[in-house]
């Protein structure tokens, strides 16, 4: 985790006004907890739509499947993208029609394909002949959309090594889909989670356009272009804004050989990360050599996994419960979790008030994505308790 996080997070406005430390101090519940402002979720959804006119939002629920968030987004008009039958069943239990859902996991268990089709879902992603064979057998006549492998080198979490195919193979696969009695429906891609360059969408949309043009010559006109996910949330200054990304996307869509009837996008982190703050109490302060260490009741296995997944750590905006934060003199701290696993160390060189000690609370901003969705009770330590505030009215958010 980088130093200087506090000033940068406040400058970008990534900390909802309703969840400032002053507001959180009045929460009369034991830590750890993850408090989410549903008004911020609704506001982010509205801002995404405004920046992407003509693009339909399909929330990627894997990053945070809390029912409260799903209901908030559904009430605002969002559709959804799932990666498993379990996620689809969660949506159905909340009253979401599976027919409006995209199943964008390119590799699915045969039984899950059949179950999803039986529930009314009719659009499935794929990237291989084997997946087409499964879909044609378990969901005959289904609509399929091929996933391209695109340049995701400017993202924090690249994904194309595991999923996707090139344009040439995608062309052959769509012709195969037609021969198998499936409906060649669309093309999708993913520029990688937390993408930090608008150029990634430019390159990917152009690749999709190349495929569209080739297929059109064979009598296949695609009905959907799915822009996938990767839309970044604000942690530190430097991520492109959704308006900047939207401007690039709009320009590239105008250059396509034709415009499919459905332009879809699958934002996840972008819609929910900044809506939440995680609160964790300090349970130990020690010196290890010349390093100041803080031991927290929450670690990588209980909601802070992403710092372990990235070589440079993860730049959560940080605050403390000390009343003189951020004006107090600061020291760099190493932050580690409560478990007996030494790899459960989540940040280095984090500037915090020099006097922070046992019993004080640390607040992790922009913690709404891939926290509780990853959390376990490893070593017997429970994950944070989810708390929700707000009504889901975007006008109430800052």
- Complete DSSP assignment for 249-317: HHHHHHTSSS--SEEEE--SHHHHGGGEEEEEEEEEEEEETTEEEEEES--GGGT--HHHHSTT-----
Which of residues 200, 233, 267 is at a domain's end? 267
d(CA 39, CA 396): 6
Residue 56 covered by a domain: no
Residue with tokens 């984090």: 350
Helix (H, G, I), strand (E, B) or coil at 183: strand
Which domain CATH number covers 289?
2.40.37.10
**Do residues 338 and 305 lie in contact, with contact meaning Cβ atoms separated by under 8 Å?**
no
Residues 136 and 226 in one domain: yes
Residues 29 and 74 in one domain: no
Residues 179 and 217 in one domain: yes
The strand pairing partners of 205, in sequence order, are: none
Residues 143 and 163 in one domain: yes
> What are the backbone dihedrals phi and psi of residue 304, each rounded to the nearest 5 degrees, phi first?
-120, 50
Which of residues 215, 239, 267 is at a domain's end? 267
- Supply the pLDDT for residue 237: 63
- What's the domain range around 381? 5-35+274-396
**Nearest of 298, 219, 229 to residue 60 by alpha carbon:** 229
Helix (H, G, I), strand (E, B) or coil at 318: strand
Residue 50 covered by a domain: no
**Do residues 16 and 368 lie in contact, with contact meaning Cβ atoms separated by under 8 Å?**
no
- Supply the pLDDT for residue 91: 98
Residue with tokens 């997944």: 309
Residue with tokens 């605050």: 319
- Supply the pLDDT for residue 311: 65
∠ Cα 226 194 198 (to 5°): 65
Residues 211 and 301 in one domain: no
Residues 143 and 115 in one domain: yes
pLDDT digits (tens, 9 = 90+) for 240-291: 899 999 999 999 999 999 999 999 999 999 999 999 999 999 999 999 999 9
Residues 262 and 278 in one domain: no
**Nearest of 305, 291, 308, 288 to residue 350 by alpha carbon:** 291
**Do residues 307 and 300 lie in contact, with contact meaning Cβ atoms separated by under 8 Å?**
yes
- Backbone dihedral region of 380: left (phi > 0), alpha (psi from -120 to 50 degrees) or beta? left
* H-helix segments, 306-393: 306-309
Count the domains in the chain.
Answer: 2
CA quadruple 114, 119, 123, 128: dihedral, nearest 10: -20
Structure tokens at 216: 């059109």
Residue 332 covered by a domain: yes
pLDDT digits (tens, 9 = 90+) for 54-108: 999 999 999 999 999 999 999 999 999 999 999 999 999 999 999 999 999 999 9
Residue 47 covered by a domain: no
Q: Which residues are catalytic?
A: 340
Helix (H, G, I), strand (E, B) or coil at 82: strand
Residue with tokens 């152009």: 206
Residues 322 and 237 in one domain: no
Residues 221 and 140 in one domain: yes
Which domain CATH number covers 85?
3.20.20.10
CB count within 10 Å of CB 5 equals: 22
Residues 313 and 239 in one domain: no
Which of residues 267, 292, 327 is at a domain's end? 267
Q: Reply yes or no: is the peptide bond before residue 101 cis, omega within 30 of 0.
A: no
Sign of the alpha-carbon torsion through 41, 188, 248, 54: negative
- Supply the pLDDT for residue 398: 53
- Supply the pLDDT for residue 251: 96
* Residues in the chain, pLDDT under 50: 1-13
- Supply the pLDDT for residue 156: 79
d(CA 77, CA 70): 11
Q: How many helices (H) and strands (E) does the chain have?
A: 12, 18
**Do residues 82 and 103 lie in contact, with contact meaning Cβ atoms separated by under 8 Å?**
yes
d(CA 103, CA 97): 13
**Do residues 192 and 159 lie in contact, with contact meaning Cβ atoms separated by under 8 Å?**
yes
């Amino acid at each position: 985790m980088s130093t200087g996080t506090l000033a940068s997070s406040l400058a970008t406005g990534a900390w909802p006004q309703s969840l400032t430390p002053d507001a959180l101090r009045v929460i009369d519940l034991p830590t750890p907890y993850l408090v989410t402002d549903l008004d911020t979720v609704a506001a982010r959804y509205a801002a995404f739509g405004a920046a992407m006119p003509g693009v339909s939002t399909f929330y990627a629920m894997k990053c945070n499947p809390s029912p409260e968030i799903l209901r908030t987004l559904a009430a605002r008009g969002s559709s959804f993208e799932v990666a498993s039958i379990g996620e689809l069943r969660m949506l159905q239990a909340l009253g979401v029609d599976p027919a409006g859902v995209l199943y964008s996991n390119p590799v699915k268990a045969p039984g899950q394909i059949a179950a999803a089709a039986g529930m009314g879902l009719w659009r499935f992603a794929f990237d291989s002949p084997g997946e087409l064979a499964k879909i044609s057998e378990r969901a005959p006549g289904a609509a399929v959309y091929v996933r391209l492998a695109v340049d995701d080198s400017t993202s924090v979490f690249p994904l194309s090594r595991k999923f996707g195919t090139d344009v040439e193979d995608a062309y052959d696969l769509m012709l195969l889909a037609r021969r198998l009695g499936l409906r060649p429906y669309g093309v999708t891609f993913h520029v990688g989670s937390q993408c930090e360059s608008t150029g990634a969408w430019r390159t990917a949309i152009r690749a999709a356009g190349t495929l569209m043009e080739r297929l059109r010559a064979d009598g296949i006109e695609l009905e959907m272009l799915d822009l996938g996910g990767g839309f970044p949330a604000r942690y530190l200054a430097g991520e492109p804004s959704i308006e900047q990304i939207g401007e690039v996307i709009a320009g590239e869509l105008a250059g396509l050989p034709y415009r499919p009837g459905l332009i879809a996008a699958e934002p996840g982190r972008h819609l929910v990360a900044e809506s939440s703050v995680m609160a964790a109490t300090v349970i130990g302060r020690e010196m290890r050599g010349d390093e100041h260490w803080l031991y927290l009741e929450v670690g990588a296995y209980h909601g802070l996994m992403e710092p372990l997944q990235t070589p440079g750590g993860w730049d959560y905006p940080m605050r403390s419960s000390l009343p003189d934060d951020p004006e107090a003199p600061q020291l760099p701290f190493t932050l580690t979790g409560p478990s007996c696993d030494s790899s459960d160390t989540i940040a280095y060189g984090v500037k915090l008030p020099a006097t922070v000690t046992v019993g004080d609370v640390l607040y992790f901003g922009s913690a709404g994505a891939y926290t509780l969705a990853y959390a376990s009770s490893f070593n017997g330590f429970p994950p944070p308790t989810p708390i929700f505030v707000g009504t889901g009215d975007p006008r109430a958010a800052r």
